[in-house]
C-alpha cells in the first residue's frame, strides 16, 4: 500500500518516515497520514500555542524559521508532555450527594 503525508505530500513508509525527497502531487489512491517530521512540527506548535494561550497572548502559528533554534523531540515525547499538562488541570468539583434512602422515581 502506498502511504503519503497529507501535509507535505511526500511518500512515507510504515513508520511514518519520509521516503521521497520532494513532494508529489496528491495521490488519491494512497493512504494519507502524517509523517514524523510534520507530526513533530505540529505537536511543537500545539505546545507553544498552548503555552502562549496560558499567558493570555493571542494564538498564532509559527513559521518554520522560528522553530530552528528549538530542540527537536519525538512526537511521543510531545504527546506525553501534553497529557501530563492535562492531568495537572484541576478537575471540576462535583456536588456532594445527600445520604439517605434511595427512592424510585
Give residue 86's pLDDT: 64
Q: pTM for the complete prediction? A: 0.51
Give mean pLDDT in consecutive 10-residue pieces for the chain, a chain of 105 residues: 92 90 92 91 84 56 47 68 66 70 66
Give the three cell numbers for residue 71: 530542540
- Chain length of the chain: 105
The pLDDT score that the predictor gives to residue 95 is 73
Closest CA to 74 of 32, 29, 20, 17: 17
pLDDT of residue 26: 92
Amino acid at each position: 500500500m502506498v502511504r503519503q503525508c497529507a501535509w507535505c505530500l511526500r511518500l512515507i513508509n510504515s513508520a511514518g518516515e519520509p521516503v521521497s525527497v520532494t513532494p508529489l502531487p496528491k495521490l488519491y489512491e494512497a493512504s494519507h497520514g502524517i509523517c514524523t517530521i510534520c507530526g513533530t512540527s505540529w505537536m511543537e506548535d500545539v505546545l507553544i500555542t498552548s503555552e502562549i494561550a496560558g499567558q493570555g497572548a493571542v494564538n498564532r502559528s509559527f513559521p518554520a524559521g522560528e522553530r530552528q533554534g528549538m530542540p527537536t523531540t519525538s512526537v511521543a515525547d510531545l504527546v506525553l508532555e501534553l497529557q501530563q499538562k492535562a492531568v495537572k488541570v484541576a478537575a471540576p468539583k462535583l456536588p456532594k450527594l445527600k445520604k439517605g434512602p434511595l427512592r424510585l422515581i
